[in-house]
Amino acid sequence: MSLTRPFSLDHAALLDELAATDNLLIIQDLDGVCMGLVGDPLTRRLERRYLDAARRLDGHFYVLTNGEHIGSRGVNGIVEALFETRDRAGEQGRYLPGLAAGGVQWQDRFGNVSHPGVTDAELAFLKAFPAQAEAFLESLLSRPPYSLPPDVRRDLIAAAVLDNLASPTLNLNVFHHHWRADPAHYRTLQAAVADFMRERLDAANQAGLDDAFFVHYAPNAGQDDNGNERLRESDGVANGNAGTTDFQLMLRGAVKEVGVLIILNRYYHRHTGEYPLGESFNAREAPRDHAALLALARDHFDPALMPRLVGVGDTVTSFTQDSNAGSQRQRGGSDRGFLTLVQQLGKAFASGNRVLYIDSSGGEVRRAGVDAERLARHGEDPSVELWPALEGISDPDDALELDVIFPRGHEQYIDFFCELVARR
């Protein structure tokens, strides 16, 4: 059976379709997809049954995340917590294989990590970021209008500064929660952090690392004319939408859509013994726009061997933003790029690719949610207007079509994932 209608809630039909697909490749985000969105990454949890299922899909499943595998905030520590001893995860090959840090940190299922195309000087610059971010926040929060007590500052800063090796991050979720009844403080901090991130880019240029980095905003308001991501401002309402919460210093080229080709390159090698894009192909040397990435795929990947790709993500945004030029539709989200490329590759290679959207609005991070009841009514009666069910996520002119939606979040997806593996 083939799914033809986008925004479907028919998980049974999707299960039948994918269970019968031999040449399958699942590329999946992590936070909000296979574990709940939380304010403090140190509280994240994975289910053992999910890890077991992923292991059984060896060679047909890879992750693609802006988080990291390693470090104090990495996913590997969450994996290791599910085993009697931390070395058991590696012995059993239970780490999640694939790309982290947006596409520059590769890991196999045994926990072997590398950073293809990244220089020692770039890693050294990134390593200095957490201490700089802590000093910036300490100075800022000790002064008006914040004037937070020392112990409060300490705890908030400890939760906000993520010392990732290849994508150090300021995560403002804890501040949004702290000032949930006083959103003006949060919005002022959001702008100050954006300025701080721009200063880091200037410092990199002064250090001779021109164009080595960019700032990833999650969620974001799409890209400007220069290809830079736009900050999504808080709506300034008590207990309202936080806008951009994650400010990541990322290596140039570390965007998820490039990661799709890197994973495909390795997939082809695993199944044919050859790398269509070359053994050393990495995110730093790849083109950065969709048209060039599609052309690269068409020119190098054998259509007869192209797998059915299933892209799974939870961060896709679409909203109207008012400006001096009038109201403009802004589309963004850290999963939008790679899901769009999965969709485009499916059309280019007639491979029947699928895009799955996980509604992660039930977690601790405020974001738009799906109206599942309206979606269901639309499925039975197309005259029922669809788009109010996807407000903040998609719109009638959106080029990205979400094939199947999981409105009950990561737990519903994990049930589906485990059943799919059992069926295969």
Could you read off the pLDDT of 352-363 as tens digits, one per residue? Answer: 999 999 999 998
- Domain membership of residue 376 (yes or no) is no
> pLDDT tens, 132-159?
999 999 999 999 999 999 999 999 999 9
Mean pLDDT of 206-225: 91
Q: Is residue 329 part of a domain?
A: no
Q: Is residue 240 part of a domain?
A: yes
Percent over 70 (pLDDT), the chain: 98
The answer to whether position 246 is within a domain reads yes
Paired sense of beta strands 169-171 and 98-100, if any: unpaired
Supply the pLDDT for residue 20.
96
Residue-wise pLDDT tens digits, 239-268: 778 889 999 999 998 889 999 999 999 999
Does the pLDDT of residue 227 top 90, yes or no? no
pTM of the model: 0.90
pLDDT at position 368, please?
92
pLDDT of 365 > 90? The answer is no
Give the structural domain span for 169: 120-251
Is residue 175 in a domain? Answer: yes
Asked if residue 225 belongs to a domain, the reply is yes
Q: What is the pLDDT of residues 24-77, one digit of tens each?
A: 999 999 999 999 998 788 899 999 999 999 999 999 999 999 999 999 889 999
Q: Answer yes or no: is pLDDT of 323 > 70.
A: no
Q: Considering only residues 145 and 3, tell me which one the structure prediction assigns the higher pLDDT.
A: 145
The confidence band for 3, taking pLDDT boundaries of 50, 70 and 90, is: low
pLDDT at 2 over 70: no
Query: Does residue 124 surpass a pLDDT of 60?
Result: yes
- What is the total count of domains within the chain? 1
C-beta separation of 15 from 420 below 8 A: yes
% residues pLDDT > 90 (the chain): 83
| Average pLDDT, rounded, for the chain | 94
Q: Is residue 9 in some structural domain?
A: no
- 339 — pLDDT class (breaks 50, 70, 90): very high
pLDDT (mean) for 123-130 = 97
Rounded Cα distance, 424 and 55, in Å: 13
pLDDT at 232 over 60: yes
Residue 325 pLDDT level (bands cut at 50, 70, 90) = low
Between 93-102, 163-172, 323-332, the lowest mean confidence (pLDDT) is in 323-332
Give the per-residue pLDDT at 161. Answer: 95
The answer to whether residue 318 is domain-embedded is no
Residue 1 has pLDDT above 60, yes or no: no
